[in-house]
Amino acid sequence: MDGEYRSVREVQSSEFDGREAFVRGWIHRTRSSNKYVFIVLRDSTGIIQCVGSREDIPDLFDIAKELLVESSVRLKGKVKKDDRAPGGYELHMTGIEVVHAAERFPITKDQSEEFLRDNKHLWIRSRRMNAILKVRSTVTGAIHSFFRERGYHEFTPPIFTPNACEGGSTLFEVKYYDSTIFLTQSWQLYAEAAIFSLERIYDVSPTFRAERSKTSRHLSEFWMAEMEAAWIGYLDAVRIAQDEVKHILGRVLNENMEDLELLGAEPERLRKSLDVEWPVITYTEALDILKEKCNMDVEWGKDLRTIEEERLMENFSTPVTVIQYPKEVMAFYKPVEEGADAPGPVAKCFDMLAPGGYGEIIGGSERDMDIGSLKAALEREGESVENYDWYLDLRRYGSVQHSGYGLGVERLIAWICKLDNIKDAIPFPRTLNRVRP
RNA sequence: GCCGCAGUAGCUCAGUUGGUCAGAGCGUACGGCUGUUAACCGUAAGGCCGUCGGUUCGAAUCCGUCCUGCGGCGCCA
Best CA proximity match to A352, nearest among A420, A415, A423: A415
Helix (H, G, I), strand (E, B) or coil at A361: strand
Strands A349-354 and A359-366: antiparallel
The closest nt to A410, taking CA to C1', is B77
d(CA A407, CA A188): 12
Task: Give the contacts of A360 (CB within 8 A, at least 6 positions apart).
Answer: A309, A351, A352, A353, A354, A408, A411
Burial of A234 (0-12, 13-18, 19+ CB in 10 A): buried
The closest alpha carbon to A312, from A292, A285, A299, A294, belongs to A294
Angle (CA) A190 A202 A381, round 5°? 40
Q: Where in chain A is the domain with CATH 2.40.50.140?
A: 8-100
Q: Which residue is nearest to nucleotide B27 (CA to C1')?
A: A108
Closest nucleotide over all strands to A433 (CA to C1'): B69
- φ, ψ (nearest 5 deg) of residue A246: -65, -40
| Whether A334 CB is under 7 Å from strand B | no
> H or E element: which one contains A50?
strand A46-53
End-to-end CA distance of chain A: 35
Residue A73 pairs in a beta bridge with: A25, A98
**Residue A362: CB less than 7 A from any atom in strand B:** yes
Q: Report in angstroms the alpha-carbon separations of A236 from A392, A399, A402, A403.
A: 24, 18, 10, 8
A167 CA, B21 C1': Å apart: 55
Measured CA A71 to C1' B54 distance, in angstroms: 50
Residues of chain A within CATH 3.30.930.10 domain(s) are 117-425
From the CA of A112 to the C1' of B48: give the distance in Å: 24
CATH: 3.40.50.720, 3.40.1080.10, 3.30.930.10, 3.20.20.70. Which one for A117-425?
Answer: 3.30.930.10
> How high is the ipTM of this complex?
0.85
Distance of CA A317 to CAs A9, A346, A418, Å? 34, 27, 14
Residue A169's pLDDT is 60
Which chain B positions have some atom within 7 A of a protein CB? 1-2, 10-13, 25-30, 32-39, 68-77
Query: Strand A179-183's sheet: what is its strand order?
Result: A160-161, A179-183, A173-176
With distances taken from each CA to the C1' atom of nucleotide B32, the closest residue turns out to be A34
- Which residues of A spanning 94-123 put their CB closer than 7 angstroms to strand B? 104, 106-115, 117
What is the structure's pLDDT at A167? 53
Q: Considering only residues 271-290 of chain A, list those whose CB is below 7 Å from strand B.
A: none
pLDDT tens digits in sequence order for chain A, 437 residues long: 778 999 999 999 899 999 999 999 999 999 988 899 999 999 999 999 999 999 889 889 989 998 999 999 999 999 999 999 999 999 999 999 999 999 999 998 878 888 899 899 999 999 999 999 999 999 999 999 999 999 999 999 999 988 665 555 688 888 899 988 899 988 999 999 999 999 999 999 999 998 888 888 999 999 999 999 999 999 999 999 999 999 999 999 999 999 999 999 999 999 999 999 999 999 999 999 999 988 888 899 999 998 999 999 999 999 999 999 999 888 888 999 998 889 999 999 999 999 988 999 999 999 999 999 899 888 887 778 888 889 999 999 999 999 999 999 999 999 999 998 999 999 999 998 888 88
In Å, what is the separation between the CA of A322 and the C1' of B53? 55
> From the CA of A208, how many Å to the C1' of B29?
48
Using the structure, give the distance in angstroms from the CA atom of A432 to the C1' atom of B70, rounded to a whole number: 11
| Whole-number Å distance between alpha carbons of A221 and A429 | 7
Q: Which of residues 38-97 of A touch strand B (CB under 7 A)?
A: 38, 49, 51, 53, 66, 68-69, 82, 84-86, 90, 92
Cβ atoms within 10 Å of A156's Cβ, excluding its own: 12
Q: Is A430 exposed, middle or buried (0-12, 13-18, 19+ CB in 10 A)?
A: middle
- Report the C-alpha gap between A422 and A408 in whole angstroms: 11
Helix (H) or strand (E) holding A222: strand A221-230
Nearest CA to A43 among A67, A92, A9?
A9
Q: Closest residue by Cα to the C1' atom of nucleotide B6?
A: A114
Q: How far is the CA of A46 from the C1' of B31 (A)?
A: 34
pLDDT at A428: 92
| Residue A368 near residue A404 (C-beta atoms within 8 A) | no
CB-based contact A352:A342 (threshold 8 Å): no
Q: How far apart are CA A395 and CA A384, in angstroms?
A: 17
CA A99 to C1' B32, whole Å: 30
In 3D space, the residue among A138, A136, A252, A145 whose CA is nearest the CA of residue A202 turns out to be A145
Please give residues of chain A from 157 to 186 whose alpha-adjacent beta carbon (CB) lies under 7 Å from any atom of strand B: 166-167, 170, 186
User: Which sign does the torsion angle of CA A291, A295, A297, A298 carry?
Assistant: negative
Q: Which CATH architecture group holds A8-100?
A: Beta Barrel (2.40)
The span from the CA of A111 to the CA of A162, in Å, is 43
Q: Which residue is nearest to nucleotide B26 (CA to C1')?
A: A109
Q: Of A346, A104, A367, which Cα lies nearest the Cα of A233? A: A367
The full DSSP string for A70-102 is: T-EEEEEEEEEE-TTSTTSEEEEEEEEEEEE--
